[in-house]
Amino acid sequence: MIESILGANAAGGSPPRHVAIIMDGNRRWAQQRGLPPIAGHQAGARRLREIARASLRAGIEILTVYAFSEENWKRETSEVAELMELLRLFALRERASLRRENVRVGTIGRIEALPHATREALAKLRRATSGNDGLLLNLALNYGSRTELCDAIRSLARDVVAGKLSPAAVNDEVLSRYLYTAGLPDPDLLVRTGGELRVSNFLLYQIAYTELWSTPVYWPDFDAALLETALGSYATRQRRFGT
């Protein structure tokens, strides 16, 4: 069982607080089956629910998933529209179960650029689950790490010009307060499905000392057993944080 590997690990005897996932391979999964891309995204959305439940059981506090990148806008207009509708439906249909299962939903990224109906559904989902204190399911939407850093630096610079912050006071801790992930611990483990070995502009600042784990399995086939494997790998590692 997934809980069996989490009793002790080389990183300090506890499961990772924060797991990030690049959910890659939906379209390739669909292509292998002769299906349209949206079928892969639909299967991926169902898989997200399973992995959120497994993460909650495993004692993970935060699960941040790369759901829609800034670069994804470059896809076919019809596919983007289907993705936005799928996200809207996910937010509506999963609201009651996520609230009941003590999962709180958050978002990071430039959410204001999403379609109005999608934004409204997400806002209702966040409000409905805001009182939960179990797993935080953090959806990265219209997210790009370089944009996040630019937004953070602009906000920080405005505060310096306004006299609210001294340039000499700027350090890692201060800059972190201006990121979309302000208030959250950095990921302990980053999982990438689909076999690629790159981070694709995801949480570049936050994963400086994050443990990495990759699998060739496409996201729609990434199940709780594979999550257990990833957590098992993490449990064997000695984290040195650059020392």
- Output DSSP code: residue 73: G
The model's pTM is 0.94
- Cα 199 from chain centroid? 12
Domains of the chain plus CATH, in order, are 13-144+187-235 (3.40.1180.10)
Active-site residue among 9, 24, 142, 188?
Answer: 24
Known catalytic membership, residue 142:
no
Instruction: Give catalytic status of residue 24 as yes or no.
Output: yes
Per-residue pLDDT of the chain (243 residues; tens, 9 = 90+): 454 444 444 444 578 999 999 999 999 999 999 999 999 999 999 999 999 999 999 999 999 999 999 999 999 999 999 999 999 999 999 999 999 999 999 999 999 999 999 999 999 999 999 999 999 999 999 999 999 999 999 999 999 999 999 999 999 999 999 999 999 999 999 999 999 999 999 999 999 999 999 999 999 999 999 999 999 999 999 998 988
3-state helix, strand, coil in the chain (%, to 5): 50, 15, 35
Among 72, 132, 159, 201, the active-site one is: 72
